[in-house]
Amino acid sequence: MSHFEIGERDFMLDGQPHRIISGALHYFRVHPEQWADRIRKARQMGLNAIETYIPWNAHAPARGIFETSGILDLGRFLDLVSAEGMHAIVRPGPYICAEWDNGGLPAWLFDSGVNAIREDDDAYLGAIREYFEQLAPILVPRQIDTGGPIILIQIENEYGAYGDDHVYLEKLVQINRDIGLTVPFTTVDQPEDRMLANGSLPELHKTGSFGSRAAERLAILRRYQPTGPLMCSEFWVGWFDHWGAHHHTTAAEPAAEELDVMLGLGASVNIYMFHGGTNFGFTNGANDKGVYQPTVTSYDYDAPLDESGNPTAKYWALRAVIAKYADLDDSDVPVPTQPMDHAVVQLSSKVSLWESLDQLGEENQERVLPTHDDLAHYSGFSVYSIEVAVSGPSVLDFDAIRDRAQVFLNRQPVGTMARDHHETSITLPNDAVGTLQILVEDQGRVNYGPRLGEPKGLIGEGRINGKAVEEWNCLPLDLAGIPGGLPGANHHPVAPDQPVSGPAFVLGDFEVHTPADTFLSMGGWTKGIVWINGFCLGRYWSRGPQDALYVPGPLLRKEKNSITVFELHAARAPIVELVPAPGLGHTEY
């Protein structure tokens, strides 16, 4: 057993000064069979700790459920950290940001009596208490004083950028203590006066988040944290990407120089991100500071260890700096992995969305236009439909679209309304008669700022020529069974040179002789979702910058593998390619 505490000037491990050199690695963004590899490569770079958030909404998709298997097996992840001889820093939130859907907060919170988030609200704190009680059996026995790897727990996350409710923070601290957490607690904020003053409590150790001007920002932090060790617990060495923007990169040399400054000043550090991973499925978040910007599927982050787990130039540059302050074994270094060879995959059948609806859920009849949240549908897609009979020209409009609505009349496309373009209305064909269907996509909930917790779907009132529509049929799409191939649906064969018209599911099989990491290029496709062997890789979109999806080698099987593509618009041909390198897109210049 060991003991870890915050001393007058240093972190203290068993009575001796200890510097933390940590890296962020989110278990929920990495295939579980790759956890050990990524952790080992962190140690080989010279790190002595791994930091991870905990995404409450991933573990608790509904109240009363707490999932801890597969990619959510936090206990196994922490045990692997310990087995590598490393410590762990855990950030359970409840809010995490992390460019993660809704900042990690469950969307069901507002359906359970919660009136306010991230402040002193009884119902919100009650839900948090339940969450921490579910975490207790995982975290408490894995603290360092009971032989585990956990040395620090973070309270909330950059709270000073959001609020200043110190009563809320005090109650959150008490919840952490009540479940049995005894290691030191920290907070993190950007080193600005307002944020540092509002985001912590006197009894919590303050740390900073920044990516440049390290000496200046550590000096500001020291004014607010006069005793104890200085720590940058989010040292940003890269950045994330939005759909329709450029791929962000950060040069290795400036990051290495800033790290050298911090370590030279005696500070501790957590590199964010050491290894970013992937926003599999529907887990990506979004930002909205006037324009809605959903985050791409890749969370490569231009990190020292890239999305497929290979060291980059930044890895070696940071390792060289760390070697000045710690003893590293130059014979113990990672070896790049070999990706699969290029392969072309022909998809063989197609199932129209419209012919699949009866297998994708139960339709709800509503007099008032419901949001996704009203239907307890917290991610993915839905189909709204009404019967129309209009003479002459007509316009369909809504109070708001969250986040993208494709409009069809009698299954024929009319057009699209998109939140990022602030579009809320569309012209219907003249003399529109028949079934109007609206395919709505939740593209990821905002993860930062005052728009946390916003409902998704069609918002407010729906009108045709200004008159409210009062009868709606709403079908939340349950896509959990899609990887099984829609066995009861009408499958149509597709030829190799035949264009694909969506919305439709396009399916096929391919063989692999030696499974290894690869990337799925979606060139020629427009927008949609991909599953391989029942695992949802995430979203693709021709607007970029990302044009290929990471496929972890452990997902693949020898011989036969299945692929399902949900294409919303169109593709040149039912063909995808497995390529050996990522396609993260163009940079700014």
Angle between helices 35-45 and 74-83 (to 10 degrees): 40
Cα gap 295→287, rounded to integer Å: 8
CB-based burial label for 547 (10 Å; 0-12, 13-18, 19+): buried
Is 234 designated active site?
yes
Cα gap 171→524, rounded to integer Å: 53
Type of residue numbered 96: I
Task: Give the residue carrying structure tokens 């040069």.
Answer: 251
Cα gap 550→281, rounded to integer Å: 12
Is 156 designated active site?
no
Of residues 158, 258, 307, 441, which has the active-site annotation? Answer: 158
SS3 of the chain: helix, strand, coil, percent, to 5? 25, 35, 45
Do residues 150 and 144 touch, judged by C-beta distance below 8 A?
yes
Of residues 51, 99, 156, 234, which has the active-site annotation? Answer: 234
End-to-end CA distance of the chain: 52
Do residues 276 and 518 touch, judged by C-beta distance below 8 A?
no
Angle between helices 313-322 and 35-45 (to 10 degrees): 50
Task: Give the residue carrying structure tokens 């390529």.
Answer: 579
Do residues 306 and 300 touch, judged by C-beta distance below 8 A?
yes
Phi, psi (degrees; rounded to nearest 5) at 359: -100, -5
406: CB partners within 8 A, 6+ apart: 413, 415, 416, 438, 439, 440, 441, 503, 568
Q: Where are the alpha helices (DSSP H) in 19-105?
A: 35-45, 56-59, 74-83
Please identify every residue annotated as catalytic: 158, 234
